[in-house]
Amino acid sequence: MNKEKSYLTGSFNNDVYLIVQGIDKDVERGEDILMLGLGIVMMSTFFAPIVPPAILLPLVAITFAVSSSVARLNYRDMERKLVISMGQIDHCDQAVLKPIASVFGEHPPESLHIAFNPMKNPKRTVKSALGAMLINPLWMPIFYVMGIQIAEERILGRLNLAIIGVEQKIMAHIKN
């Protein structure tokens, strides 16, 4: 296997620590991607006085769609790297990483064509339609892709909690 496609690329002798540190950096990258999308959307208010809503609102929806799509691709890459890395370590070390792997098992990355299909996500579609009826019908696509972004943030948050738990186990094991 190519070392660049796994988390075992450092010279540290603790493979579990390398994997946890690598996946932690990738989770931070995913969170940064989502925050960049949110920040760009928040800055769009500066253009509201000069750009008509017919142009600005689709750009907001596209920004959310791009940031959630790139975060989803990063999540898939994390899962792939974790599987490859876990195949390269001992079984007892794999047990330490089980909480992180279980998050990927509980939340498999759905394909983007399913995430963006309103017919495959009726709950998100209804919530988006209700929000659009309350504010403006042109906002339904924004609410829909914002729901995708929120789902990505939620998954990364769960993954981050699992990483923190594994890091605490590693530190407790090192102290003893």
Task: Work out whether the CA dihedral 3, 5, 9, 15 comes out positive or negative.
Answer: negative
User: Do 27 and 163 contact (CB within 8 A), yes or no?
Assistant: yes
Q: Give residue 14's pLDDT.
A: 76
Task: Kindly report, residue by residue over 59-69, the tens digit of the pLDDT.
Answer: 999 999 999 99
Task: Kindly report, residue by residue over 69-115, the tens digit of the pLDDT.
Answer: 999 999 999 999 999 988 888 888 888 899 999 999 998 877 888 88
User: Do 96 and 174 contact (CB within 8 A), yes or no?
Assistant: no
Q: Give residue 63's pLDDT.
A: 96
More confidently predicted of 79 and 10: 79
Q: Is the pLDDT of residue 174 over 80?
A: no
Q: Give residue 10's pLDDT.
A: 60
- What are the phi and psi torsion angles at 49 (to 5°)? -70, -20
Cα distance between residue 73 and residue 88, in whole Å: 23
Q: Give residue 18's pLDDT.
A: 87
Please compute the mean of the pLDDT values over residues 140-169 and round it to a whole number. 93
Q: What pTM did the predictor assign? A: 0.87
Any idea which residue has 């890459």 for tokens?
77
Q: Give residue 3's pLDDT.
A: 45
Largest separation between any pair of C-alpha atoms in the chain: 63
Q: Give residue 153's pLDDT.
A: 94
Task: Kindly report, residue by residue over 103-152, the tens digit of the pLDDT.
Answer: 999 988 778 888 888 999 899 999 999 999 998 888 899 999 999 999 99
CA angle 70, 124, 52 (to 5 degrees): 70
3-state secondary structure of 95: helix
3-class SS shares of the chain: helix, strand, coil, % to 5? 80, 0, 20
Q: Is the pLDDT of residue 2 over 50?
A: no
Count other C-beta atoms under 10 Å from residue 116's C-beta. 15
More confidently predicted of 13 and 27: 27
Q: Where are the domains of the chain?
A: 13-175
Task: Kindly report, residue by residue over 25-35, the tens digit of the pLDDT.
Answer: 999 999 999 99
